[in-house]
Amino acid sequence: MPRDGPPGLAIMSPVRSIETDYLVVGAGAAGMSFTDALLSHAPADVVMVDKRPAPGGHWVDSYPFVRLHQPSACYGVTSRVLGTDRIDEHGTNAGFYERASGDEIRDYFAQVMEQTLLPTGRVTFLPLTEYRGEDADGHHLVSRFTGTETVVKVRTRFVDASCLQSEIPARHALPFAVEGRVTVIPPNGLGELDDVGGSFTVIGAGKTAMDTCCWLLEIGVDPDRIRWIRTRESWLFDRAVFQPLERVASYMRLQADWVEAALAAADASAFGHDLEERGAYVRIDPAIEPKIWRGATISRAEVAALQTIENVIRQGRVAGISETGITFAGGDQVPSGPGEVYVDCTAAGVPPVPTTPIFAPGRIALRYVTVGQATWSAAIVGTVEASGADDATKNRLTKPVPMSGEAAQMLEVVHAGLLSEVARARDAELLSWNQSCRLNPGHGAAERMADDPELIAAFSAMVTAIGPALRKLGGRSEVAAAPA
Ligand SMILES: Cc1cc2nc3c(=O)[nH]c(=O)nc-3n(C[C@H](O)[C@H](O)[C@H](O)COP(=O)(O)OP(=O)(O)OC[C@H]3O[C@@H](n4cnc5c(N)ncnc54)[C@H](O)[C@@H]3O)c2cc1C
């Protein structure tokens, strides 16, 4: 019978049927990390599907100058290292653990698939294949390439590994109108430009816009030729406090500061300012109260570079761009010169993820169970799934952390993150796995403790503050949940 194929084609193809223990939808970083952890602990077989042609998710389409914002040492899957744990010597990451480029990450996930998962003989990967939903026959997959339909019977669980998926400029629809001969490109298009006569307008307040501005400055664009439409300000982690391995004391100090600041803070704003005073948070414009917090890290050298861009426009969301300039949603207009290049960085990046329970009969929906660490969270869920516990226990060990991107919600994030972590710390087997898991930025801290007074001090400060902080944050959420 005819099936949907590429536009304009009706393809005649048979429907094939397969069976598997787990069907994992999404072979991005989260799906890969979940599957790697599951297979390390359980004798299961897995079918993985992704609409994209290769594993790696959004990294497959990322802009050429993208990098992890955190160290490679704690990103990817548990069973394979990413990078060489080098400390960078130059550039804005000097003095910090290396951060993989887009090419390195794509290559890494191709290796994880080709050299780790497929050789187990327990994984089938279907690229360019779209998951279309479930009915009484099973789960329906359609090849975007051939139109072939596959129906999958799932013996154990359907795993939605697309829940944390990133929205990136190369793949999203422009959220504003464009009229006339105007150059509007995603950051991916910057390398294709020749002889830019005009200036650059970077649109967006997130990490992609920061990366784009840093790259423009690095290749020699004068800061006066850059306008930055940055409606809201972000709190960002100083990369110096997010260092693993030999420098894990910095990360443990961050954990202590995080809990102490939450204990002291009257509200999310006070929490942010306290962490700024402690040196853990930074922001680009110290005169503006941040409204965004997505858990991104940045170096102070990058912040200093970004502060050289003085033409920052804060007139709200862009509604349209024409040959004469920009119209904002509130009606304001800002003129543009000829040859202006607009770089669209408005994609949501990591959109808000629901916090409904992860485990349900026959299903898993991946969520953050740590603060902003997608691959560590997915590995935890894969490991907990393989534990053989009942779903109520599994859900208790993997309480979702609400990553909404809003600074106003930071204390809810601290509370959920601590509850999730404390529940896992009470499970001896999971605690021992977690302490050695390479995706945990604090891994190895326990072994280094004896020789490092800084680590001992950070650890004891955290242990002292955690109980009172949990009681206080629990009280806050009871107040928030109480009927008016
Ligand atoms: C520029 C950038 C830098 C980042 N840096 C970091 C960092 O340093 N550290 C960190 O922890 N996080 C970082 N992140 C967050 C990032 O989102 C996660 O690290 C991680 O890559 C998310 O992986 P994912 O698998 O959840 O999502 P994605 O990478 O979006 O993958 C989801 C996959 O699901 C597939 N899919 C969706 N629906 C279907 C369907 N119906 N059928 C078939 N396939 C489907 C998609 O094609 C996609 O490939 C960064 C994000 C961005 C954008």
Q: Give the pLDDT of residue 13.
A: 54
Question: Residue of the nearest CA to atom 49 in ligand 1?
Answer: 57
Q: Rounded to whole angstroms, what are the CA distances from 259 to 253, 403, 459?
A: 10, 17, 11
Question: Residue of the nearest CA to atom 36 in ligand 1?
Answer: 26
Place 350 in a pLDDT band, splitting at 50, 70 and 90: confident
> Is residue 162 predicted with pLDDT exceeding 80?
yes
Give, for ligand 1, the residue of 23, 139, 165 to mutate: max count of ligand atoms closer than 8 Å to Cβ: 165
Q: Is the CB of 139 under 6 A from ligand 1?
A: no
Q: Give the pLDDT of residue 477.
A: 59
Question: What spacing in Å lies between the alpha carbon of 347 and ligand 1's midpoint?
Answer: 13
Question: What spacing in Å lies between the alpha carbon of 212 and ligand 1's midpoint?
Answer: 19
Q: What is the mean pLDDT of the chain?
A: 93
Q: Which atom of ligand 1 is nearest to the CA of 347?
A: 53
Question: Residue of the nearest CA to atom 19 in ligand 1?
Answer: 374
* Residue carrying the six token digits 């804005």: 92
Question: Residue of the nearest CA to atom 34 in ligand 1?
Answer: 26
Q: Is the CB of 271 under 6 A from ligand 1?
A: no
Mean pLDDT, residues 285-299: 96
Q: Give the pLDDT of residue 173.
A: 84
Q: Give the pLDDT of residue 196.
A: 78
> Is residue 254 predicted with pLDDT exceeding 60?
yes
Q: Is the CB of 33 under 6 A from ligand 1?
A: no
Q: Which atom of ligand 1 is nearest to the CA of 129?
A: 43
Q: Is the CB of 274 under 6 A from ligand 1?
A: no
> Is residue 105 predicted with pLDDT exceeding 60?
yes
Q: Is the CB of 28 under 6 A from ligand 1?
A: yes
Secondary structure class of 4 (helix, strand, coil)? strand
Q: Give the pLDDT of residue 6.
A: 43
> Is residue 11 predicted with pLDDT exceeding 70?
no
C-alpha 194/C-alpha 108 separation (Å) is 32
Question: Edge-to-edge, what's the strand order for the sheet holding 281-282?
Answer: 281-282, 234-238, 292-298
Q: Rounded to whole angstroms, what are the CA distances from 158 to 38, 99, 116, 305, 440?
A: 13, 33, 22, 46, 26
Pairing between strand 149-160 and 281-282?
Answer: unpaired
Q: Is the CB of 25 under 6 A from ligand 1?
A: yes
Could you write out the three-class secondary structure of 5-61? CCCCCEEECCEEEEEEEEEEECCCHHHHHHHHHHHHHCCCCEEEECCCCCCCHHHHH
Taking only the tens place, the pLDDT of each residue in 187-206 is 999 988 887 777 999 999 99
Mean pLDDT, residues 17-33: 98
Taking only the tens place, the pLDDT of each residue in 166-192 is 777 777 889 999 999 999 999 999 988
Question: What spacing in Å lies between the alpha carbon of 451 and ligand 1's midpoint?
Answer: 38
